[in-house]
């Protein structure tokens, strides 16, 4: 499943890059209950309690930054599982700056397995669109210094 979007923020690109390379700051933009532990500058782990359709539970997650090209691009892959289901994803942000405004273009490619994958694309897509857009909306508000 592929999701993408963009937003602008009145912050310099270096500050936005620093935000997206801090797993704790980014993961804290999730609206679902979660934990995150940064193990080193490239790796992080945690839990996410969420639901898609009637399947709800806590998923254990592992993440790894795969690209850190300051100040233009950040990419991270995630792998998680719980309740017999799994998720693998690649989240990428490309950053451009003009006149003190940074444009963030993001993509999220997710693959599901197990019971979650059997729910049907319409149910999964609706939930993933809402959660992914929510993550990046809260990231934008946080970068602008507004309450997330």
Q: Provide the pLDDT confidence category of residue 117 given band limits of 50, 70 and 90.
A: confident
The per-residue DSSP string of 58-107 comes to: EEEEEEEEEEEETTTEEEEEEEEEETTEEEEEEEEEEEEEETTEEEEEEE
Q: Is the dihedral of CA 5, 46, 51, 80 positive or negative?
A: positive
**Among 89, 95, 86, CA closest to 139:** 95
Q: What pLDDT digit, counting tens, does each position of 3-37 carry?
A: 999 999 999 999 999 999 999 999 999 989 899 99
| Choice between 9 and 1, residue whose per-residue pLDDT is larger | 9
CATH topology of domain 2-143: Alpha-D-Glucose-1,6-Bisphosphate; Chain A, domain 4 (3.30.530)
- Asked if pLDDT for residue 148 goes beyond 70, the answer is no
| Residues shown for the chain | 148
Maximum separation of any 2 CA atoms in the chain, in Å = 48
**Among 10, 8, 46, CA closest to 26:** 46
Q: What pLDDT, on a 0 to 100 scale, did the predictor assign at position 127?
A: 82
Instruction: Say if CB 79 and CB 90 are below 8 A apart.
Output: no
């Amino acid at each position: 499943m592929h999701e993408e979007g963009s937003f602008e923020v009145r912050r310099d690109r270096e500050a936005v890059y620093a935000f997206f390379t801090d797993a704790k700051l980014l993961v804290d933009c999730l609206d679902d209950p979660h934990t995150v532990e940064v193990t080193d500058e490239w790796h992080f782990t945690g839990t996410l309690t969420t639901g898609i359709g009637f399947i709800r539970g806590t998923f254990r997650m592992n993440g790894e930054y795969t690209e850190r090209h300051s100040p233009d691009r950040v990419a991270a892959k995630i792998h998680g599982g719980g309740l017999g289901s799994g998720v693998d994803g690649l989240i990428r942000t490309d950053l451009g700056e003009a006149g003190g405004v940074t444009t963030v273009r993001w993509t999220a490619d997710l693959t599901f397995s197990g019971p979650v994958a059997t729910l049907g694309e319409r149910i999964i897509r609706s939930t993933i669109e809402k959660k992914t857009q929510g993550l990046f909306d809260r990231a934008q508000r946080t970068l602008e210094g507004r309450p997330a």
